[in-house]
Structure 1
Amino acid sequence: MPDERTKYAWRKAILAARAQVSVAQHAREAAALAVAAATVAQPGNVVCAYVPMRTEPGDLAMLDALVVGGATVMLPVTGAPGPLSWARYLGPDSLRPARFGLLEPTSQALPPSTVAEASAILVPALGVDRRGVRLGRGAGYYDRSLGAADPDTKLIAVVRDDEFVDELPEEPHDRRMTWALTPGDGLQQLHV
C-alpha cells in the first residue's frame, strides 16, 4: 500500500490494485462475500446495502443472500449531495441505471431517515482499518447518511482482504465503521 499517508494516495493505490483483479478472482470473492453477508440477515430485519459496481467487491448475489435470509434490503438512491434516500430491493430485474454508473431500485424512494430502521448497513469502501476508519470515494454521501442510523446498528465496510489495513488517514467528519466484511475472513468486529 502507499508510502504517502494521504487519502488520495490510498485511493489511487487501492483502485489500481482492484483493476488488476481477474474476473475469476472477483467471482470467487463475490461468492464468499455473499455467504458471509447471509450471516447479517435476520428474518424481519432491515439491512441497508448497495449494488457493487465495476471493481467493487461483491455482486448481486450478496443482496440476494440477504433477501433469502429474511431481511428487507434497502438500496441507496442518489440525488443532490447530501444524505441518501433509500428504496427496497426487489431482485435484479427491479434495478435501473442511475447517476454515477450505479444501479438503483425502481421501487418508491423513501427518505434518508429510513436508515434509522436498519439493523445493519453494508457500506461500500475502498479500505477500512482496524479502528473502523473507512476510506470512501470522497463524495461524503455515506458519512452524511450514517448520522441517522441507530447507535446499535452494525456499520459494515465491505472490502477485499488486502483492503482491511492497520491504519488509514482520518478526518473529523469521517464516520467509523463497527464491522468489516471480507471474502477471506467474513464478518469481523472492529476496535472502535
Structure 2
Amino acid sequence: MTDHETTIEDAKRQLRRELRGARAARGTGFAAERAAGIAASLQELVISLGARTISAYLSTPDEPDTRRFLAWAGEQRIRVLLPVIREDGLLDWAEHDGTETVESTLGMPEPTADALPPTALDEVDLMLIPATAIGRDGSRLGGGRGFFDKTMAAMADCPPVYAVVHDEELFDSVPHADYDQPVDGVVTQSGVTRIITRS
C-alpha cells in the first residue's frame, strides 16, 4: 500500500469512528423519529424509477430506518432482495418475506429465507445500500468491509445505486480510494439527491 493509500484509509477510519460515535450518541430514538421521512423519500425514488424488483437491507436501530419502507414495498408487491453475508466475505441474497435473524458475527439483521443464486441480483431495477456517509460527488464511506463495493464492481450491468443516510451524513465529499464504488444518488429524510457518477 502506498503512502497516499495509507493516508486515505486512515482518513476513512477516523471519519467512520466519528460518525458511528455520533449515531450511538443520538440513540435509536433519533432514527425512529425520522423513519417516516426516510420511508417517504424511498417511496418517491422507487415510484419515480418504476422499479418492481429492488435490493435493499434491514437497518440496524441507529441507521436510517428501512423497515417502514420495506413494509410499504411488500404492500405494493415490489420484489425485494436482502443481503446475506457469506463466510468468504461476499454477499448472497434472499427474498424479503418479513422474517429475519441477527447474524452472530457482525450483528447485522438478515433474512431467513433460502439464499438465491448470485445471478438473482441481475434482475433488480434499483439497489439501496447502507453507508456511514456520502459525498455529493458520489463518494461513499461504507462500513469498512467492502461487501457492497465488491458486489457492485462484479456486476456487468449495475442498476442505479442509492445510499441511505441521515442528512447530517451528507458531505461535499468523503475520503475514498480507487476501488471504492461511487453511488448514483443518496436518500435522506429530506428527499432524494441524484448524482449519476457511473455510465
TM range (shorter): 0.7 to 0.9
Q: Match for 2:65 among 58, 79, 82?
A: 58
> C-alpha offsets along residues 59-85 of structure 1, whole Å, 9 cap, x if unaligned?
411211222333101100111234311
In the alignment, which residue of structure 1 is the partner of 2:22?
17
SS in 2 for 1:75: strand
In the alignment, which residue of structure 2 is the partner of 1:124?
130
In the alignment, which residue of structure 1 is the partner of 2:34?
29
Q: Match for 1:183 among 177, 180, 189?
A: 189
In the alignment, which residue of structure 2 is the partner of 1:80?
87
Report the Cα distance in structure 2 between the residues aligned to 1:152 and 1:139, rounded to whole angstroms: 20
Q: Match for 1:157 among 152, 159, 163?
A: 163
Post-superposition offset of 1:117: 1.2
Post-superposition offset of 1:121: 0.7
Post-superposition offset of 1:111: 2.5
Report the Cα distance in structure 2 between the residues aligned to 1:38 and 1:149, rounded to whole angstroms: 25
Letter in 2 for 1:105: P
| Stretches (4+) displaced over 3 A | 40-44, 148-152
Report the Cα distance in structure 2 between the residues aligned to 1:66 and 1:179, rounded to whole angstroms: 20
Letter in 2 for 1:50: Y
Q: TM-score, normalised by structure 2?
A: 0.84
Letter in 2 for 1:69: Q
Matches within 5 A, 1:42-57: 45-57=52-64
% identical equivalent positions: 29
Q: TM-score, normalised by structure 1?
A: 0.87
Q: Greater helix percent: which structure?
A: 2
Aligned 8 A contact 1:117 1:149 in 2: no
Post-superposition offset of 1:22: 4.2
CA RMSD of aligned residues (A): 2.1
Q: Match for 1:167 among 173, 177, 181?
A: 173
SS in 2 for 1:101: coil
Q: In structure 1, list runs of 5 or more residues that go unmatched.
A: none
Post-superposition offset of 1:90: 1.0
